[in-house]
Amino acid sequence: MWEFVLMQLNKSHNSLINFDKDIAREIVVIEKRVNSLELKIDRDCENFFALYTPVAIDLRFVLAVLKINSNLERIGDIAEGVAKHILSTESNFSPELLKETRLLEMYEEAIAILELTLTSFEKEDTLLARNVFKKDDLLDEINYAANENILRYLKTHPEDIDHALYALSIIRKLERVGDQSKNIAEEIIFYLEAKVLKHSSKSKKGFKE
């Protein structure tokens, strides 16, 4: 599942760079297999609960897999969404637009972050998992500056508004790849260390529901 989703994200990156609509169509078709894998993993986890009633680290593992599975499926949806943008546009994105928005830099970092989560899971390395949070800062930085960068580009290229809006949408999607990857990293830490990181910053500040 992880490798499938990584493949989808890499293909969408290649499709964007080369404006390859054949790859984009392939991504849309393969997404059905990603969805099937999500359902299979869910069923396998449910069967494991029913047959073995796991406890301690085994229970945490299965709970983490269920949540990681869901996050991976959403990243697959994001790759499909990018592919559909490429299928909807009539011409390639201009190099100047890609440079101004730092879109390709963001794409490469998003792929690297997802690869890091996989390595962390395979090696059972929570230090690597925690590095995901640091690496996501770059995605947040590019996403935060996206509106201003797009507006600056459109001042000199008002005719390119369609591509600019597609680029902005892709940036928003890649920012969510970072968020999903952080969720996965949290689940890896939960599985290995029995620590729940979700909402921990709020609790430290004394926030209450």
pLDDT at site 197: 76
DSSP H or E stretch at residue 42: helix 21-52
> Among residues 151, 55, 139, which one has the least CA distance to residue 105?
139
Instruction: Evaluate whether 103 touches 165 at the Cβ level (below 8 Å).
Output: no
DSSP 92: P
The three-point CA angle 30-32-36 to 5° equals 120
Give the torsion sign (CA, 146, 149, 152, 157).
negative
> Among residues 174, 158, 166, which one has the least CA distance to residue 77?
174
Q: Confidence class of residue 196 from pLDDT cuts 50, 70 and 90? A: confident
pLDDT greater than 70 at residue 150: yes
**Distance from chain centroid for Cα 13:** 12
pLDDT at site 59: 95
Q: Confidence class of residue 158 from pLDDT cuts 50, 70 and 90? A: very high
| Residue whose token pair is 């986890």 | 45
Q: Over the stretch 19-35, which tens digit does the pLDDT of each residue have?
A: 999 999 999 999 999 99
Instruction: Evaluate whether 181 touches 131 at the Cβ level (below 8 Å).
Output: no
Report, as an integer, the average pLDDT of 67-79. 97
pLDDT greater than 90 at residue 203: no
Over the chain, what is the mean pLDDT? Answer: 93
Q: Is the pTM of this model over 0.75?
A: yes
| C-beta neighbour count of 175 within 10 angstroms | 20
pLDDT greater than 80 at residue 5: yes
Which tokens go with 129?
Answer: 């998992």
pLDDT at site 199: 59
The Cα 171–Cα 181 span in angstroms is 15
Report, as an integer, the average pLDDT of 50-75. 96
pLDDT greater than 60 at residue 201: no
**Coil, helix or strand at residue 194:** coil
pLDDT greater than 70 at residue 183: yes
pLDDT greater than 90 at residue 173: yes
pLDDT at site 16: 97
Instruction: Evaluate whether 90 touches 19 at the Cβ level (below 8 Å).
Output: no
pLDDT greater than 50 at residue 206: no
> Among residues 101, 93, 116, 92, which one has the least CA distance to residue 174?
101
Q: Over the stretch 85-128, which tens digit does the pLDDT of each residue have?
A: 999 999 999 999 999 999 999 999 999 999 999 999 999 999 99
In order of start, what are the domains of the chain with their CATH numbers? 2-201 (1.20.58.220)
The Cα 105–Cα 35 span in angstroms is 28
